[in-house]
Amino acid sequence: MEASTLFRISSDTFHRLKSSGVGTSICMHAAEALFIHKQQQQLDLLTSTAARRYAAMVERQPDVVLRTPQKYIASFLGITPQSLSRIRAEHRG
């Protein structure tokens, strides 16, 4: 969707990093953060309305909302682009 810079390391280098003390800590924190994020996302899908999820996204990541096509935002929120269009109209007005 837009230009990005990616970094990569070989599998061998990753396993060596993971086996060091600092690397183990980094991997553990990254895994915990990802788990918490995914759990929160699932909870939000089950307990929040689409309008609330959209409002939270606008509050947390307004730049992403402006740069991202509506169909991807709708998919992320678990709704149709048409529903997102209605929610956006209500959110503005």
pLDDT band for position 2 (cuts 50, 70, 90): confident
Model confidence at 82, pLDDT cuts 50, 70, 90, reads very high
Q: Residue 93: what pLDDT? A: 64
Q: Which of 37, 51, 45 lies closest to 89 in space, CA to CA? A: 51
Cα 91 from Cα 58, distance rounded (Å): 10
Q: Name the more confident of 92 and 16.
A: 16
Q: At what angle do helices 50-60 and 70-77 cross, to 10 degrees?
A: 120
Of the candidates 48, 39, 37, 36, the residue with the CA atom closest to the CA atom of residue 77 = 48
Mean pLDDT of the chain: 92
In one-letter notation, the amino acid at residue 27 is C
Averaged pLDDT, 62-71? 93
The domains of the chain are located at: 10-47, 49-93
